[in-house]
A = this chain, B = another copy of it.
Amino acid sequence: MSFDTLTHEMLLQIEDELRQTVSSRLYRKELEELLKMVSHHMGWNEENPAARGKRIRPLLVTLTCAAAGGNWLKSLPAAAAVELIHNFSLIHDDIEDNSPLRRGRPTVWTQWGVPQAINTGDAIFTLAHLSLLGLEDTCDAGTALQAAAILQDTCLSLTQGQFLDISYEKQHAVSLESYYMMISGKTASLISTCTELGALVANCSFDLRQCYREFGYFLGMAFQVQDDYMGIWGKEELTGKSAESDLAAGKKSLPVLYGLQQKGAFYQRWLQGPIHPEEAPALAKQLSDEGAESYTKQTADLLTRQALQALEEAQPAGKAGEALQTLALRLLNRAH
């Protein structure tokens, strides 16, 4: 079974589980519009599958479960849960960041207003946890309770990461340490929970579960740092967004924070206010000259190596194990 065949089968089941979780609880006539908002955000009203996002997180759950020797069908309640958590945070992030578009479509708040959008996010948050409790049926009570504790811890990390992210907007100087804490909360925490939950359902030993968790953690960190790299030096055809856009957007990404610490020409220009898109190429070059490009690249490489090493130690088995490796390499742009 190829990567595509296996993941295609999993993605179908994941989508089914997601729809089932939501529609079984929002079926009443009076709640029709609430269901519509959730469906809009989840991309269920669109022909184009791109509207739904890539469903990377639930796929990490099912693939890890299978690679660790478990029956991945049993992990579906957890897979749906992590995807719902991800989407709850996107709805709230879109309000907090004042973003009118998500995947090229209007965000919930632009279409239905901020009050309904906040509340719809809260509803999806709850649906995630309700979905997770389904592990009591596919596994047992002990597994469900452990999974709940893991997921709740991650949700707290998410809100802590988001708190730091919002705070940074008003802060002049953000330390690199603080930046790593932020992306650990906002990105790596949920990814590591995906792989840990997959391993938990597969009934792995505690040590092996930690190995898979570590893989997810470094995968998330590496992915984020690479995303920051691509946001400044990436090629447009690869990232899908115009290169240097992070500079013009004023995003305090890792290269920018590194550049600010150098207190050189980049720092001086940054202090003077917003950067125009036309300036971005020259500033990207300046940042590179000040060492930010190689620092970011080296960091991404190191994190990638740590992720792949943790995965190797976990000894993922079979076709799912291969697929898990392929997915990791693709996410980290190491696939051919």
Cβ–Cβ contact B95 & A118, under 8 A:
yes
Instruction: Tell me the complex Cα distance, A297–B25, Å.
Output: 33
Cβ–Cβ contact B178 & A156, under 8 A:
no
Cβ–Cβ contact B118 & A96, under 8 A:
yes
- What's the number of copies of this chain in the assembled complex? 2
Q: Please, which residues of chain B bring their CB within 8 A of the CB of A149?
A: 130, 133
Residues 29-48 of A, flagged 1 when their CB comes within 8 A of B and 0 if not, give: 01101100000000000000
Instruction: Tell me the complex Cα distance, A141–B140, Å.
Output: 11
Residues 16-31 of A, flagged 1 when their CB comes within 8 A of B and 0 if not, give: 0000000001100011
In the assembled complex, how far is the CB of residue A320 from the closest CB belonging to chain B, in whole angstroms?
29
Please report the total number of A residues contacting B with Cβ < 8 Å: 46
* Interface residue? A209 (CB, 8 A): no
Contacts A136-B145, A144-B145, A163-B34 known; A130 to B116 CB distance under 8 Å?
no
Cβ–Cβ contact A119 & B159, under 8 A:
yes
Cβ–Cβ contact B123 & A34, under 8 A:
no
Instruction: Tell me the complex Cα distance, A130–B156, Å.
Output: 9
Instruction: Tell me the complex Cα distance, A160–B130, Å.
Output: 15
In the assembled complex, how far is the CB of residue A138 from the closest CB belonging to chain B, in whole angstroms?
14
* Interface residue? A279 (CB, 8 A): no
* Interface residue? A199 (CB, 8 A): no
Instruction: Tell me the complex Cα distance, A120–B136, Å.
Output: 30
**From B30, B33, B153, B163, contact of A178 by CB (8 A):** B30
Residues 108-126 of A, flagged 1 when their CB comes within 8 A of B and 0 if not, give: 0000001110111111011
Residues 169-185 of A, flagged 1 when their CB comes within 8 A of B and 0 if not, give: 00000000010010000
Contacts A122-B125, A145-B136, A166-B119 known; A114 to B130 CB distance under 8 Å?
no
Instruction: Tell me the complex Cα distance, A116–B92, Å.
Output: 11
Q: Please, which residues of chain B bring their CB within 8 A of the CB of A136?
A: 145
Q: Please, which residues of chain B bring their CB within 8 A of the CB of A148?
A: 129, 133, 145, 148
Q: Please, which residues of chain B bring their CB within 8 A of the CB of A158?
A: 122
Cβ–Cβ contact A92 & B122, under 8 A:
yes
Cβ–Cβ contact B31 & A163, under 8 A:
yes
Cβ–Cβ contact A156 & B25, under 8 A:
yes
* Interface residue? A142 (CB, 8 A): yes
In the assembled complex, how far is the CB of residue A141 from the closest CB belonging to chain B, in whole angstroms?
5
In the assembled complex, how far is the CB of residue A47 from the closest CB belonging to chain B, in whole angstroms?
27
Instruction: Tell me the complex Cα distance, A166–B119, Å.
Output: 9
Contacts A156-B127, A164-B30 known; A145 to B119 CB distance under 8 Å?
no
Q: Please, which residues of chain B bring their CB within 8 A of the CB of A114?
A: 95-96, 114
Q: Please, which residues of chain B bring their CB within 8 A of the CB of A123?
A: 156, 159-160, 163
* Interface residue? A304 (CB, 8 A): no
In the assembled complex, how far is the CB of residue A35 from the closest CB belonging to chain B, in whole angstroms?
10
* Interface residue? A155 (CB, 8 A): yes
* Interface residue? A167 (CB, 8 A): yes
Q: 8 A-B contacts, Cβ less than 8 Å apart?
A: A92-B122, A96-B118, A96-B119, A118-B118, A122-B155, A123-B159, A129-B155, A145-B145
